[in-house]
Amino acid sequence: MEISSTFSGNGDIPFVSFFLALIVTVFCCFFSLFFRLFKFQQTDKIRSCNCACGSNCDGSMAVTATARVMNGGSGGAGGGQVAVVERERQQVIGASMMEQLVPEITTHALSYLDYPSLCRLSMTNSSMRRAANDDNAWKALYHKDFTMEQDSITPANGWKAYYAATRAIVNINQHFFDIIRDRSLPEMGRLWLNADYVKCIHASGEFFTGYSGVLGSWQLALNWEPAVNFQVRDVRSRVLPGVAWVTMKAYVGMEHNTHPMSMTNVFELHNGQWFMVHHHSSVMLADGEVADQPPMLG
């Protein structure tokens, strides 16, 4: 059974991800080198000025220090201020390119990376880790990989955590179709929550409730129904603390001109693990159309 997934791909994707990360890294290195050369030239000019001043500069500094003391300041405090300014100047010179870019440019540059590349970038150094953990970057990645429907929400733990939770739910939902493809009743039993309130409505219209009833329906479907090749499209998910649901269209067979089934899967989080608690499948028909007998596996 061939199942489409949001994260399916071919062997070229890791190479493309590595190539994109390499391009970003090389760009950062060139920018940092240019910035250091620019600051080095400014430092040379300051040093030249210091050499040309000679004793006059020392005299000016002495006059300035005397003026501070007469105005209620102290030489020690003035020296502390000079030290602070010098330390800040050195920090600016040693800052990375990512730290000096405006947030909009940083977010735009990181938006070209996919999930594995962004994770690899965060493991290079501290500056890249801060940039790769930027909330706007993960929000952009969420919209690219999942949906634009949830643009107005504000995740409690940030977009990175929300992306990880959504990715986990989408993967578990894909595992549901893998179980159907492999016709594995034990795996189906582990996927469902062992509770009396779980519900399952197959595409045939049959309704089952309770863990035993639901597993009994899947045992019948997996043992007696013919193999079904589901092509899953338009996957949409919503994750809340403790509960999540996924809606999708599942086409029977390879042709997309057949009537799709509209499916909804609901999951609950128990002891750090997601379990299915509700499955509903129905055939989508146009007005006046009559469907063939739908498979129970839906």
Its domain, for residue 228, covers 160-283
Residue in 241, 242, 231, 285 with CA at minimum distance from that of residue 2: 231
Same domain, 69 and 174: no
Print pLDDT tens along the chain (298 aa). 444 444 444 555 566 667 777 777 777 666 666 666 666 565 555 444 444 444 444 444 444 443 443 444 544 545 555 555 556 555 544 445 556 665 667 666 776 677 677 777 777 777 667 767 777 878 888 888 787 777 778 888 888 889 889 999 999 999 999 998 888 999 999 999 999 999 999 988 899 999 999 999 999 988 876 667 688 889 999 999 999 999 999 887 655 556 688 999 999 999 999 999 999 999 876 555 555 555 556 6
Any domain includes 295? no
Cα(297)–Cα(282) distance, rounded to whole angstroms?
Answer: 11
Any domain includes 5? no
**Are 280 and 264 contacting, i.e. CB atoms less than 8 angstroms apart?**
yes
Same domain, 180 and 122: no
Q: Which amino acid is at 229?
A: N
Query: Of the residues 145, 179, 214, which one is the last residue of a structural domain?
Result: 145
pTM: 0.61
Same domain, 206 and 81: no
The CATH code of the domain that includes 214 is 3.10.450.50
